Each structure stands twice: as structure tokens, then as C-alpha cells.
Amino acid sequence: MFKILKKKILAPKVEMMVIDAPFIARNAKVGNFVVLRLNEKGERIPLTIADSSKKNGTITILFQKVGKTTESLGTLKPGDRILDIAGPLGHATPIARYGRCVLVAGGIGGATLYPVIRALKKAKNSISVIMGARSRDFLIWEDRFKKFSDDLYITTDDGSYGRKGLVTDTLKEVISNKPVALVVAVGPVRMMQAVSELTRPHAIKTLVSLNPLMVEGTGMCGSCRVNIAGKTRFACIEGPEFNGHEVDFKELENRLGFYKKEEETAYKLFKRKRQKK
């Protein structure tokens, strides 16, 4: 059982939790994720380790309440416990001295880029960050991103803060100004696809973090199959980051919608039960 130590609401339906998990914290590397399960009958969901502290023995997760499991997770308070957290899982992000790096953070998914930005900065790279959100209210961790970036661009779809438009509008400009060695993008699948299409003609190394359906997270069940350069790979043990120019995004999007009906039914039942309480 893993005790929740802190909880904070970051944006509408987006929460952050600091969890007591000393073994995971001791072994966590940049880009790793965990798979958690709330109770014995619960589904397992993958969540990126958005921060960790070896000293305090804690990990930080961010989640968006989009379905039964994440809504249930959101009902827990400091002092409550989560049944299982498996991790750290996945390969670490390759951190090296690349030169100029552009990090594209789309919405809640993008916030999990924070440890990558910090590590790339520590490795003496020049860092440009493009953060995008639907509107100002959905922008998360601007202060943390600012601390480690040389240039920070903010975009909102509705123009309520920063530049009006998508992250890709700004990326076009940023990559045409000066040579870029590496782009890392995390966010909605369509955003990661659009980023990869923009960087392809410039032959810029582009990493995307994939979040396919995962069940056990150790490569045995095969639920997290993704098609990379025509080959089936398992995102949980071979990812979560892959070369964006090799990802079959269409297949990924289809697979993400595979259990949509069941997810909607479970969510409806969950909401009905909560209303009755």
C-alpha cells in the first residue's frame, strides 16, 4: 500500500499527488513511469513519474480525471492509500549534450516533461520550451518550466494567455530560426504526430512519449503494442519514448479507442453510484 502525502488541484480536473514510495523514488530515472491499481478489481493505469525525491522517498504524479479510475483516484485524500504501484517502468530518456533542444509540452501530458527539461539543462543543453494549453486555466507548472528554459513560449488555443494558436504554430517558427538538435514532444497523440511531421523535413531527431493501453507493464500481456517503423514493439518495456518519425500514429489512435464503449459504461456507472451516495 502506498500512502498519499500531498494532493493539489492544478487545473480543472487535473490533480497532482505526492506519494510515499521510497523504492520507486530511489530507482526512478527521467522518463520512467508507474502502473497503478486502486483496488483488487481495479484497472491498471500508466502514469509518468512527473518528479521524485530520493531524499524524501516520494514520487509525484499528475493525472486528468477523464474516466472511472482517474475520478476514483481524485476522491482519495492525503493519508489514504493506493493498493499497488509498480515501477519505475520503461526506459529512461536518453540525456546527453545535444546542443539546442526544443521541448513541446501539450496540456497535462506535457507537464510530465518537467524532469526531462531539468536533466537536459543540467547536461548543458540550450533549452527552448513550447507549452500549449486550451486556455490559461489549463496551463500547468509554468514556473517550473521557466526555471530550466532559456526561451519559454506559451500558446493557448483561445488566446487567453501567451500566443493564440497551437504549439505547432510556434514550433514552425522556432525550428526555422536556428538549427535544432533534438525535439521532445509529450501531449495528445495528434499533437505528437503534428510535431513529428514538422520536424521530419528538417531531419531533427524527435522523441515522442507514447501512452498506449497498458495492463501489467512488464511486456507479458502485449496490450501496449505500437507499430514502430513497421515492427510491433511493446511501449511498456521498449518505450515509452520512440522516434516520432517511425511511429504509426493512426494505429496508436485506433488502439487507444479500443475499449471506449466499456470505459464510457464504467464511467457512467461510477457517476451514478456517486450521485446516490
**Where do the H-state alpha helices sit in 188-259?**
189-199, 235-238, 249-256
Q: Which of 95, 116, 109, 277 is nearest to 187 (CA)?
A: 109
**At 252, which amino acid appears?**
L
One residue of 90, 187, 212, 244 binding ligand NAD per CB under 6 A? 187
Question: Least separation, in Å, of the C-beta of 203 and ligand NAD?
Answer: 20
Q: Given the rule CB under 6 A, which of 17-25, 53-61, 89-97, 100-108 is the region that contacts ligand NAD?
A: 100-108
Which amino acid is located at 13 in the chain?
Answer: K
3-state secondary structure of 19: strand
CB of 59 closer than 8 Å to CB of 51: yes
Residue of the chain from 59, 108, 127, 226 that contacts ligand NAD (CB under 6 A): 108
The only residue of 31, 109, 115, 162 in contact with ligand NAD, by rule CB under 6 A:
109
Burial of 276 per CB tally in 10 Å (0-12, 13-18, 19+): exposed
Contact 77, 15 (CB under 8 A): no
142: amino acid identity, one letter: E
Site for ligand NAD in 11-70 (CB under 6 A): 48
* Interface pick for ligand NAD out of 29, 37, 65, 134 (rule CB under 6 A): 134
Strands (E), the chain: 2-11, 14-20, 33-37, 44-48, 51-53, 58-64, 81-82, 84-89, 100-106, 126-133, 151-156, 163-164, 182-186, 205-209, 225-228, 231-234, 241-243
Residue from 61, 73, 174, 194 binding ligand NAD (CB under 6 A): 194
Among 132, 162, 212, 239, binds ligand NAD (CB under 6 A): 132
Q: Which is nearer to ligand NAD, 48 or 58 (CB)?
A: 48
Neighbour count for residue 108 (Cβ, 10 Å): 23
How many residues of this chain bind ligand NAD (CB under 6 A)?
Answer: 23
> Do 19 and 50 form a contact (C-beta atoms < 8 A)?
no
Site string for ligand NAD, 196-215 (x = CB under 6 A): -------------xxx----
**Closer CB to ligand NAD, residue 3 or residue 95?**
95
CB of 186 to ligand NAD, least distance (A): 5
**Is 167 a binder of ligand NAD (CB under 6 A)?**
yes
- CB closer to ligand NAD out of 221 and 256: 256
Closest to ligand NAD by CB, 56 vs 243, is 243
